Amino acid sequence: MAEHGSDLNPALVRDSWDNAARAYAEGQAAGRDRYRYAFFGPAHVRKCGDVRGLRLMDIGCGSGYFAREMARAGANVTGTDVAPQMIEQARRQELESPLGIDFRVVDAADLAESFRARSFDIVTSCCALQDMPDIPRVLRAVREILTPGGRFVPSVVHPCADTPFREWERDATGRKRWLCIDRYFDREVIENRWLGWPYEFTTFARHLTLEDWFTMILDARFSIRALSEPRPTEQTLREYPDLEDAARVPYYLIFDLIS
């Protein structure tokens, strides 16, 4: 990971995800994204509860993984993402296996200009907020499009484990001994290199502290109903032993917010 100062450039974010789109969609389809599919995705789905019949918007939907989960759970889903190529991938999958999802290219910061106020019962976002350059504006926009009392349920990378310096120390056999983290208070742009996907790609996200997240959420006048730190179940670990590191340190955080 390398850092690029504290400003996340919107064009860089969009273009890097556009460039990633095919590898991301093909890698997910081939089962490359086990952390999302086998553990924190299902935990996020459970946190959303009964969504049957709800008007649901998934922001930063990428190639549509979580939007499809929500549609299968019975919601009427709109998926939005800033990267046109990601939406292209999502629409392709929708054509192949239709679930009735409306996928659109929209910057989450501009939701309030693109959708009617109070037109969604619930908004979700699967591990995308930390990639968005103007999170306070996104939070305000989400609040605008939600019905009063509507929920916003986003997952993000855990700010305590996803720091500007982060490295697993390994023993002689390669086994992970402990996670070394540092520079928690440096609000840096982090460069994420995605290795082992159909092609290598790089994306950018901003590291924020837990206090920053709470402050942004409360400033946008959401109340916090619950907070989860998902970890793999025993059964998941039996099936996917390589997820063992996620049972030792918190990799993700799920907020359950009320507007």
Ligand X SMILES: C[S@@+](CC[C@H](N)C(=O)[O-])C[C@H]1O[C@@H](n2cnc3c(N)ncnc32)[C@H](O)[C@@H]1O
* Interface ranges with ligand X (CB under 6 A): 13, 17, 36, 59-62, 65-66, 81-83, 86, 107-109, 126-128, 131-132
CA distances from 17 to 23, 86, 89, 127, 185 (A): 10, 7, 12, 13, 26
Taking the complex as a whole, the smallest distance from the CB of residue 120 to ligand X amounts, in Å, to 15
Taking the complex as a whole, the smallest distance from the CB of residue 36 to ligand X amounts, in Å, to 6
Q: Which residue is nearest to ligand X (CB)?
A: 62
Taking the complex as a whole, the smallest distance from the CB of residue 136 to ligand X amounts, in Å, to 12
Q: Is 62 or 159 the residue whose CB approaches ligand X more closely?
A: 62
Q: Is 93 or 236 the residue whose CB approaches ligand X more closely?
A: 93
Q: Is 129 or 185 the residue whose CB approaches ligand X more closely?
A: 129
Q: Is 82 or 217 the residue whose CB approaches ligand X more closely?
A: 82
Q: Is 17 or 222 the residue whose CB approaches ligand X more closely?
A: 17
CA distances from 219 to 59, 63, 131 (A): 20, 30, 20
Q: How far apart are CA 248 and CA 101, in angstroms?
A: 36
Taking the complex as a whole, the smallest distance from the CB of residue 175 to ligand X amounts, in Å, to 28
Taking the complex as a whole, the smallest distance from the CB of residue 199 to ligand X amounts, in Å, to 16
